[in-house]
Amino acid sequence: MPTPTLFFTIVIAIGLLRFAACFNSADDDDSDEETAGLFAFQTTDFDPEKIKRVVIQLHGQGRDAWLYFDQTTEALYNATRTNTASKSKSKKRTKLKRYETLIFAPWFLNEDDEGAYTDLDAGSSTAGPLVWPGSEWANGGDSILPSGASDNVSSFEAIDGVIRHFADRDTFPKMETIIVAGHSMGAQMAQRYALLGAVPSGRLPVHFVVANPGSFAYLTPSRPNSVENCSETYDQWKYGLGVYEQRYLSDFVRESLDQQNDVTDVRKRYSEQRLVHYLFGTADHGKGDTRCEAVTQGLTHLERGRNYMRHLADVVNDDSIAAVTANIHTVDYIKNVSHDGLGMFMSKAGIERLFYTNVLGEEEPQGVGDADPDSQYFYPSRSSSLASWRPTALATVFATLALAAIPSLL
């Protein structure tokens, strides 16, 4: 990590946009509106009327959104320049057009990024960038800043806002596909959001790309390795659905979890309807998360990936769900690639999943959230006495700085 000051400078140098969701009290006579912003890197000089696809790329543990923005942009440029993934003897494939794809890399700050948020906050205590504690952003945890805000924003709620923004027909009339992707801790977030998230995309199909995550949220309490050293905690969120106490609950999950922790519906939705593409590097032998809870899932990134595929197949068999075979969940093992986001995204399968999924725009959406924009789609936790908050105006981009194109890509 660069020092905070340099961190901030880099951001300004290549462009930053502030993406705001306004949160209003459920009690409508309270006129105090508080604005919290999610920062993000986004392709510039695009014509919203031409955009058919957005790739929402989630950063890693180092909150290196700029790196993931660059890598995804590079993969797209490479794919459009060489058309490698489209070489097929049997049929001609639609050629990718760069200007039809938008890349958006949200930035989940934490306490270590103080230089960034203090400067940007400009002295206001109720507005400013959203900051989450530690790595809680990856699990859907609540924000701790802006301070003084009377409620906290879950990082999953922030993703809901981003999805709603891109699914808005008035802004993006030709949008056909939303991809939520991540590598490493970003992949952990993508997998967990795919499981619990509201995914409020209305009529648009949403696909998730999960590359080399450090751990998964399991769907049942079974694990491939011994749980003896953490038998109380191994199935708690974020590792499993055994104990879930976060405030973020989509409508669906709230109902599903409320019945004595009966999570069957959540599992069924994930394995039957949520479109998840797993990518594992066959050289990714890194241990990553060494906590006991992660070790119960396997010893390395690759092993955890393989084990999770078996787990999914078991769940599918038990519930008589034909998910994996129906291409709801797909897996690609990327030869010789280690814990390397660029290597994963640049691979044939990576390019296929990120940029060619639904390239003809013919898919029917499934497994997405409630299309009614007025519906309430997140709730305070069952044990919380906090007032219920809901968004009233979502995702208004209110400041954009010019993004100087990355020289190496020109």
Among 47, 335, 385, 410, binds ligand NAG (CB under 6 A): 335
User: Contact 61/286 with Cβ under 8 angstroms?
Assistant: no
Q: How far is the CB of 143 from ligand NAG (least distance, A)?
A: 7
**Nearest partner of 331 among 270, 275, 279, 282, judged by Cα:** 279
Among 228, 232, 362, 374, binds ligand NAG (CB under 6 A): 228
Residue 389, helix vs strand vs coil: strand
Using the contact rule CB under 6 A, the part of the chain among 4-12, 186-194, 223-231, 306-314 near ligand NAG is 223-231
Determine, following the binding rule CB under 6 A, whether residue 149 of this chain makes contact with ligand NAG: yes
Q: Which two tokens stand for residue 325?
A: 């075979």
Angle at 246 between CA 242 and CA 252, to 5 degrees: 75
Give the CB-side neighbour count of residue 162, counting CA atoms within 13 A.
Answer: 33
Using the contact rule CB under 6 A, the part of the chain among 143-151, 212-220, 354-362, 375-383 near ligand NAG is 143-151
Q: How far is the CB of 306 from ligand NAG (least distance, A)?
A: 18
Q: How far is the CB of 383 from ligand NAG (least distance, A)?
A: 12
Instruction: Count Cβ neighbours within 10 Å for each residue of 15-47 and write b for 16 or more, e otherwise.
Output: bbbbbbbbbbbeeeeeeeebbbbbbbbbbeeee
Determine, following the binding rule CB under 6 A, whether residue 152 of this chain makes contact with ligand NAG: yes
Q: How far is the CB of 247 from ligand NAG (least distance, A)?
A: 7
Q: How far is the CB of 166 from ligand NAG (least distance, A)?
A: 27
Backbone torsion region of residue 395, taken as left when φ is above 0, otherwise alpha when ψ lies between -120 and 50, otherwise beta: left
Q: How far is the CB of 228 from ligand NAG (least distance, A)?
A: 5
- What stretch of H or E contains 385? none
Angle at 163 between CA 157 and CA 165, to 5 degrees: 105
Q: How far is the CB of 377 from ligand NAG (least distance, A)?
A: 20
Determine, following the binding rule CB under 6 A, whether residue 388 of this chain makes contact with ligand NAG: no
> 74 or 265, CB closer to ligand NAG?
74
Among 34, 64, 100, 142, binds ligand NAG (CB under 6 A): 142
Determine, following the binding rule CB under 6 A, whether residue 229 of this chain makes contact with ligand NAG: yes
> 87 or 310, CB closer to ligand NAG?
87
Give the CB-side neighbour count of residue 336, counting CA atoms within 13 A.
Answer: 3
Three-state SS letters, 54-114: EEEEECCCCCCHHHHHHHHHHHHHHHHHHCHHHCCCCCCCCCCCHHHEEEEEEECECHHHH
Determine, following the binding rule CB under 6 A, whether residue 84 of this chain makes contact with ligand NAG: yes
> 61 or 78, CB closer to ligand NAG?
78
**Binding residues for ligand NAG (CB under 6 A):** 78, 82, 84, 142, 144, 147-149, 152, 226, 228-229, 335-336, 346
